[in-house]
Amino acid sequence: MRGRMPRWRCIVGAVATMLAVAALVAAFTWGAIFDSVLASNLALTPTSRSFQNWQAPSVPIYFEVFLYNWTNAEQFPHEKPNLAQIGPYRFREERSHVNITWNNHNGSIAYRTLRRFFFDPLTSNGTLKDNVTTLNVLAASAVYRTRYWSYVRQKGLSMGLSMFGQHISVTKTAGEILFDGYEDPLLDMAKSLPSSATGDAPRVDRFGWFYGRNNSLDSDGYVEVTNGQASGTFPGQILKWNHEDHLPFYSGKCSEVAGSAGEFLPRGMTEQSLLKMFVPDLCRTVNMEYIGNAENGGLKYLKYALKEKGFDYSPASPSESCFCDGQCPWSGVMNVSACRFNSPAFVTLPHFLHGDPRLLDMVTGMEPDAEKHEFFFGVEPQLGIPLEVAARFQINVYIEPNRNIALYESVPTMLFPVFWIQQRVQMNEEILHELKTVRAILDWGSTVCAGAAFALAVIVAMVTCCGTKPKYVPPHEMTFEKPKDEAELKLNPQYFES
């Protein structure tokens, strides 16, 4: 007969069985477990690590500007503008989110973004003292804003432009064109005009494309995004911009405020997904399409870019047509004048990439190259983390002839490229290593749990099947005694007693 199983074996078997079942359940539900843990770690809460990294990002950000130097301005409009790209003028950008408000009633967080720019002379191709000839944007804006004025008022502007010595082009330093700004009599004249004539543009003493944006809280405006605490939500998805839940510049679907604000992206992206991004500089949401795969530090990711459809206002893309506000004669162009105080600002990709071929015929010097000029986000699809970002777009000024204004009497209708910018963000080695670890946990977690379940099952089998053996008794110690019968004991008592 086999011996009874010791108590310790019973306990070990029971514990191993429970652990094996738990490991097996974890193996089958690992994806859901991982998503739940990741969501709780990414959620923006006052004490979360995710919030600390979001509030003051440690990832280096570089802001680069490429200016176009107009080399034949004296021959315009008899010759096409010849534009020579110069730069980049590189700035290191420090960004932090401030004036934070927690809105627990709707699971959101509101903030403003403080940006600081520091010129990097060592990595820039040029200095801020470089002289650059470019289109006279102030004169072009004045002509554009008065295009519907009466004959008498337009003639008054024409005389004013002549009196103030305005020309079709200006030559300024790179620093003045960018952040420092420069004085101009037209700015003084604008102060005396009603706000309806200036498009409610703020009164300024100097003009520069980024004048007043350094150390400013107004660059991106007031933003309200999801905090990701509610089940099934992602953090960083925009809800309001400048206190509005819609865009007043557009109508219909184009007025929607939607998409990621940039720092957090949806998880589970695929090659068929559209990446929705809200870009304050463009005053709108853009749809980015999958263009291919890439790898950074051994971590694979998907690339999504702005393609032709994102700029197309033609009947072929009816979903985008509501973005057309006024002049939309070319595909591949975003008209952002409505959100830029009615200035003639139009956005394209650098060098008119993916733009109407007619745009390239208007100037010389453009060399579109997708490798250099694509606007893309590189996204780790399962984690929803941007690994590489190249936000690129070109600012152009719309000009057209006006027979009542001498300075613009014979100019062609065209988009005049002024500069293009590039904001690049790339994860450093430390963060990449951490993300690879997290991705490995996701990829191998179920396999490890399944292996653990199998190992525990083997332990249970060994404990339960290999019980205690009976005690061994040597043959010479064994006695075979015949059972004593009561009747026999009475007849032969001595025999049994001996």
pLDDT for 109 beyond 80: yes
Q: Is 91 helix (H, G, I), strand (E, B) or coil?
A: strand
Top-confidence range, 172-176, 381-385, 493-497: 172-176
Residue 496: pLDDT band (50, 70, 90) is very low
Write the pLDDT tens digit of every residue in 18-42: 766 766 666 666 556 656 667 777 8
- Would you state the structure tokens that stand for residue 350, as one six-digit string? 């650098």
Please report the pLDDT score of residue 130 as a whole number: 97
Residue 91 phi, psi (nearest 5): -125, 135
> Following DSSP, what letter does each residue of 180-220 receive, concatenated?
I-B--HHHHHHHTS-HHHHTTPPP-SSB-TTTTTTTBS-SS
> Following DSSP, what letter does each residue of 410-441 receive, concatenated?
SPPSEEEEEEEEEEEEE--HHHHHHHHHHHHH
Q: How many CB atoms within 10 Å of residue 6?
A: 12
Write the pLDDT tens digit of every residue in 277-322: 999 888 888 889 999 998 877 888 899 998 877 776 655 666 677 7
Across 236-330, where does the E strand assignment appear? 238-241, 274-279, 284-296, 299-305
**Whole-number Å distance between alpha carbons of 55 and 52:** 5
Residue 1: pLDDT band (50, 70, 90) is very low
414 CB burial (10 A radius; 0-12, 13-18, 19+): buried
Q: Which of 60-69, 83-92, 333-342 has the lowest mean pLDDT?
A: 333-342
Show the CA angle centred on residue 414, arms to residues 408 and 418, nearest 5°.
95
- CB 58 within 8 Å of CB 71: no
- Would you state the structure tokens that stand for residue 413, as one six-digit string? 């209708």
**pTM for the predicted model, two decimal places:** 0.84
- Would you state the structure tokens that stand for residue 29, as one six-digit string? 């539900």
- Would you state the structure tokens that stand for residue 321, as one six-digit string? 């047509």
299-305 and 169-173 beta bridge pairing: unpaired
Please choose, from the candidates 128, 144, 132, the residue with its C-alpha nearest in 3D space to the C-alpha of residue 186.
Answer: 144
Which residues are bridge partners to 254 per DSSP?
A: none
Show the CA angle centred on residue 451, arms to residues 446 and 454, nearest 5°.
125
Write the pLDDT tens digit of every residue in 74-101: 999 999 999 999 999 999 999 999 999 9
Q: Is 93 helix (H, G, I), strand (E, B) or coil?
A: strand
Choose between 120 and 467: higher pLDDT.
120
Q: Which of 423-427, 448-452, 474-478 has the lowest mean pLDDT?
A: 474-478
164 CB burial (10 A radius; 0-12, 13-18, 19+): middle
Please choose, from the candidates 297, 303, 299, 231, the residue with its C-alpha nearest in 3D space to the C-alpha of residue 270.
Answer: 303
Please choose, from the candidates 363, 344, 338, the residue with its C-alpha nearest in 3D space to the C-alpha of residue 139.
Answer: 344
Q: Which of 171-185, 289-303, 361-375 has the lowest mean pLDDT?
A: 289-303
Helices (H) and strands (E) in the chain, counts: 13, 15
216 CB burial (10 A radius; 0-12, 13-18, 19+): middle
Please choose, from the candidates 311, 354, 335, 309, the residue with its C-alpha nearest in 3D space to the C-alpha of residue 398.
Answer: 335
Cβ-Cβ contacts under 8 Å for 282 (sequence gap 6 or more): 334, 336, 347, 393
H or E element in which residue 32 lies:
helix 30-42
Q: Is 253 helix (H, G, I), strand (E, B) or coil?
A: helix
Per-chain mean pLDDT for the chain: 83
| Amino acid identity, position 369 | D
Please report the pLDDT score of residue 81 as a whole number: 97
Write the pLDDT tens digit of every residue in 128-153: 999 999 999 999 999 998 888 899 99
Write the pLDDT tens digit of every residue in 436-471: 676 666 665 667 667 766 676 667 667 676 655 555
